[in-house]
Amino acid sequence: MSRTSQATLGRRLYHPDRDEIRLESVLSALSDPIRLRIVRELARGHDDMACIAFDLPVSKSTCTHHFRVLREAGVIHQYYEGTSRMSRLREDDLEARMPGLLSAVLGAA
């Protein structure tokens, strides 16, 4: 304990490198309606968003779970800002690895 502001750094969040992002994982991450909704909101979303801003119809722990799946698949980037966890779409990385995929998903009915 002790070290006060180390904690934020201590809470490490795994993010795959750009070239570690796997198509299967991304598709799988996007195949859940709640996660799709998160991604759509992030895409519409003008700015990075805290988890709480999404107002999802699930419990807090389930929410954490879905954000983790998206992050570990490489779809979103997350970082701590005070007590909140901000999320941002990894649009550039996705576009580099699977060109057109994200926009096709967002554009679909």
- x-marked contacts with DNA along 88-107 as a string, rule CB under 7 A: --------------------
Find where tokens 């801003």 sit.
Answer: 53
Q: Which two tokens stand for residue 33?
A: 């309606």
When asked if residue 108 is in the footprint of its own copies (CB under 8 A), the reply is yes
Residue type, 26: V
105: left (phi over 0), alpha (psi -120 to 50) or beta: alpha
Interface region with DNA, contact rule CB under 7 A, candidates 27-35, 39-47, 91-99, 101-109: 27-35
49: left (phi over 0), alpha (psi -120 to 50) or beta: beta
Interface region with its own copies, contact rule CB under 8 A, candidates 47-55, 62-70, 81-89, 96-104: 96-104
Residues forming the site for DNA (CB under 7 A): 1, 4-11, 28, 32, 34, 50-52, 58-69, 78, 80, 82-85
